[in-house]
Amino acid sequence: MSTKTHCTVRIPRDLRDQVDAVAARQNRSTSDVIRLAIEQFVAGAKRADDSQLRHMRVTEYTQIALDAIIRENHPELRDHLIAQTDLRMEQYHGAR
C-alpha cells in the first residue's frame, strides 16, 4: 500500500512549463520534481524556524546580560535607557 496521497494544485502555465522542462532534463516525472520541490521548501522552512528561534534566544540572553551589567555598573542610567527604548519602539516599530 502506498504512503502517498493525491493532491491537486493550480499553477501558472509558465511555471508548469518550467517544471516539465526540469523533469525532462533530469529524466524524472513532473510529480517527482514537484514532490522534491515541496520537500525542499518544507525543510527550508524548518531551518528558518530553527534559525529564528536561535535568534530570539540570543536576543533574550543579550537583553538579560546587558540589564545585569547596567544594574551593577550604571544603575542611574537604567530608567533613562528604558524610556529611550520605549520611545524608539514607538518611533520605529509603532509599538507602545
In the three-class reduction of DSSP (H, G, I as helix; E, B as strand; rest coil), residue 25 is classed as helix
Which three cell numbers mark 4? 502517498
Q: What percentage of the chain reaches a pLDDT higher than 90?
A: 75
For residue range 7-25, list pLDDT tens digits in order: 899 999 999 999 999 999 9
| pTM > 0.85 | no
> How far apart, in whole angstroms, are the C-alpha atoms of residue 3 and residue 45?
23
Q: What is the mean pLDDT of residues 68-88?
A: 94
Ranges of each domain in the chain = 13-93
Phi, then psi, of 6 in degrees rounded to 5: -85, 140
Pick from 29, 32, 36, 34: nearest CA to 15: 34
